[in-house]
Amino acid sequence: MDTKTLARYTARARILKAMAHPTRLFIVDELSRGEKCVCELTALIGADISTVSKHLSILKNLGIVQDEKRGLQVYYHLKTPCVMNFFDCCELVMKTRTGE
Amino acid sequence: MDTKTLARYTARARILKAMAHPTRLFIVDELSRGEKCVCELTALIGADISTVSKHLSILKNLGIVQDEKRGLQVYYHLKTPCVMNFFDCCELVMKTRTGE
DNA sequence: CAAATAGTTGGCTATATTGCCAAATAGCAA
DNA sequence: TTGCTATTTGGCAATATAGCCAACTATTTG
What separation in angstroms does the CA of A83 have from each of A57, B59, B85, B87? Answer: 17, 20, 10, 11
Query: Reduced to 3 DSSP states, what percent helix, strand and coil does chain A have, rounded to the nearest 5?
Result: 65, 15, 20
**Separation between Cα atoms, residue B30 and residue B42, nearest integer Å:** 12
Q: Please tell me which of the candidates A63, A90, A92 has its beta carbon nearest to residue B16.
A: A90
- Cβ contact B96–A87 (<8 Å): no
**Separation between Cα atoms, residue A23 and residue B94, nearest integer Å:** 22
pLDDT at A13: 98
Give residue-wise pLDDT tens across range A63-85. 999 999 999 999 999 999 999 99
Among chain B residues, CA nearest to A13: B20
pLDDT less than 70: residues of chain A:
98-100
Nearest amino-acid residue to D16, taking CA and C1': A17
Give residue-wise pLDDT tens across range B1-40. 999 999 999 999 999 999 999 999 999 999 999 999 999 9
Contact flag, residue A47 CB and nucleic strand D, below 7 A: yes
Question: Percent of chain B at pLDDT above 70?
Answer: 97
B84 has a pLDDT exceeding 90 = yes
